[in-house]
Structure 1
Amino acid sequence: MLETGSPAPEMVLEDTVGDTVRLSDYRGEHAVLLYFVRSTSCPVCNRNVQDLVRSGDDLEAENVRVLIAVPESRQRAATWKARQRVPFPVLTARGGTPHEMVGLDRRVFGAMQRSGSLLVDVHGVIRHVHSATLPTGGYDRKGVMRAVRSLGV
């Protein structure tokens, strides 16, 4: 996983309609909160995404754009996005998973996908990073919001 204070990696992802999304596309304009769900079928991850949806206006006011990364296919991501009514871009990777790009590899005998979050400021510097193998620990709401407030719009 990455470290707070380090430059964000260049991530090239794909949204649910097949368009390319780069983390660097936001540099100079917006901070980005990238939340990595363990699986679209994970009930804890779905609750965390809904918390982000409820916090969307507050995050927008802080100039933070939310992106959701899923380890499944683009088609499955599109179905999940519609069913969950996720207003944010939902991203997959063209090869591998978005999770692998930031070191959220599967753990516990290669079976448990890790989840986590990454907050990147407008300059492309990581301001918050968090990960966990168990989904109950994959979203540090207080840590994310503290880091967002410290960005200073």
Structure 2
Amino acid sequence: MSLIGQPAPDFTLPANTGETVTLSSYRGHQNVVLVFYPLDFSPVCSMQLPEYSGRQDDFAEAGAAVLGVNRDSIHAHRAWAAEYGIEVPLLSDMNLNVARQYGVAIDERGISGRAVFLIDKGGVVRFQHIEAQTGEYTVRPEAVLAKIREL
């Protein structure tokens, strides 16, 4: 299911930062990179999210906010972020409703797949990549930054 060219499904989720994040609140002033990932503390995720977090300044310079999304609790997110130095907000989609809206829920495993969505300032999905396997991590921050610069 491709969401490219479609309005991004809106949502409001709690974040490990203590705030509640609503996607539509970025409309009009910032692009958003949604990074869906299966589980906190898992090997590939523990590479991916720190990598995106480490490029946070580059994303900010390109006019984009990075948001990590999965089904873990905000408590797990806080512990994982502290241990791995992850500074991007990690959103808790515990019932996978948002993952379902984006077509990345793996209900039989109770997790979301690994996927990246780029949403422009107008709230429209401009890029999406859903990994074939949850253990794959092929879309690195540089590739997403290049897509943002094309907007």
Q: Which 4+ stretches in 1 moved above 4 angstroms?
A: none
Give 5+ residue unaligned stretches, structure 2.
none
TM-score by structure 2 length? Answer: 0.86
How far off is 1:69 after superposition? 0.8
Which residue of structure 2 aligns with residue 47 of structure 1? 47
How far off is 1:48 after superposition? 1.2
Q: 2-side partners of 1:124 and 1:113: how far apart?
A: 22
How far off is 1:100 after superposition? 2.6
Measured against aligned partners, the alpha-carbon deviations of 1:7-59 in whole angstroms (never above 9, x if no partner) come to 11111111125532110011011001010111112211221112212221111
How far off is 1:64 after superposition? 0.5
Alignment of 1:107-122 (within 5 A): 110-111=108-109, 113-122=112-121
Aligned residues: 148
Query: What is the one-letter code of the residue matched to 1:150?
Result: E
Measured against aligned partners, the alpha-carbon deviations of 1:50-88 in whole angstroms (never above 9, x if no partner) come to 221222111111010111112111211121121111111
Q: 1-side partners of 2:137 and 2:8: how far apart?
A: 19
Which residue of structure 1 aligns with residue 126 of structure 2? 127
The share of aligned pairs that are identical, in percent, is 27
Query: What is the one-letter code of the residue matched to 2:125?
Result: I
How far off is 1:138 after superposition? 4.5
Query: What is the one-letter code of the residue matched to 2:22?
Result: R
Structure 1 residues 134 and 69, CA gap change in structure 2 (3 angstroms): same
Which residue of structure 2 aligns with residue 10 of structure 1? 10
Query: What is the one-letter code of the residue matched to 2:32?
Result: V
Q: 1-side partners of 2:60 and 2:16: how far apart?
A: 21
SS of the residue corresponding to residue 38 of structure 1 reads coil
Q: 2-side partners of 1:19 and 1:53: how far apart?
A: 18
| RMSD of aligned Cα (Å) | 2.0
Alignment of 1:43-122 (within 5 A): 43-93=43-93, 96-97=95-96, 98-106=98-106, 110-111=108-109, 113-122=112-121
Could you tell which deviates more after superposition, 18-27 or 135-144?
Answer: 135-144
Structure 1 residues 105 and 78, CA gap change in structure 2 (3 angstroms): same
